[in-house]
Amino acid sequence: MAILKILEYPDERLHTIAKAVPAVTDNTRTLIRDMAETMYTAPGIGLAATQVDVHQRIIVIDTSETHDQLLTFINPEIIANSGESEREEGCLSVPGIYGKVRRAEAVTVKALDSEGKEFVLDASGLLAVCIQHEMDHLMGKVFVEYWSDLKRSRVLTKLKKRQRNRM
Ligand code: NI
């Protein structure tokens, strides 16, 4: 297993649109294991392949308190959604920044698991938000891009300061 490097906003590569996985192979499973290890180590509750500069439609999520309920979604598709919710979100690609985004309260998602088997999952609350956030990454969208230009420019200033301090 390996810990992968997570791209940080405003890295242009985060705006890449991921391609569908044509076939789930051992290489796919190795990537998924590495993504999971990267997510747990960070630590975070979700990671999209886009964030580790692999532009394939794969996400991993674990919103459990025990960190042992890994969910893998390959080629995910939201087939139904309902309600509205606004929750504070964060992102491993935008360290130290948190803020609200309006999303559906519940989603039904269809995807393949790590064996290439199709499944359908009904999710609500935090899990539903997380699925939508990670699926946005696959479309090249980062959560701060829902915010106004003013709020986003404050985010960029804060991130630059943070990156400078790290050097
Ligand atoms: Ni994110």
CA–centroid distance, 26 to ligand 1, in Å, is 25
Assess contact for 105 and 129: CB atoms under 8 A: no
pLDDT at 165: 86
Does residue 119 sit within a domain?
A: yes
Looking at the structure of the chain, the number of domains it has is 1
CA–centroid distance, 165 to ligand 1, in Å, is 22
Does residue 104 sit within a domain?
A: yes
CATH number at residue 65: 3.90.45.10
Q: What residues make up the domain containing 115?
A: 12-166
End-to-end CA distance of the chain: 28
Does residue 157 sit within a domain?
A: yes
CA–centroid distance, 22 to ligand 1, in Å, is 24
Enzyme catalytic residues: 134
Query: Strand, coil or helix: what is 123?
Result: strand
pTM of the complete model: 0.96
Q: Which of 124, 18, 27, 25 is nearest to 76 (CA)?
A: 18
Does residue 6 sit within a domain?
A: no
* β-pair partners for 123: 107
pLDDT at 167: 67
CA–centroid distance, 25 to ligand 1, in Å, is 25
| Per-residue pLDDT tens digits of the chain, which is 167 residues long | 799 999 999 999 999 999 999 999 999 999 999 999 999 999 999 999 999 999 999 999 999 999 999 999 999 999 999 999 999 999 999 999 999 999 999 999 999 999 999 999 999 999 999 999 999 999 999 999 999 999 999 999 999 998 888 76
Does residue 3 sit within a domain?
A: no
* β-pair partners for 58: 74
SS3 content of the chain, % helix, strand, coil (to 5): 35, 25, 35
CA–centroid distance, 73 to ligand 1, in Å, is 15
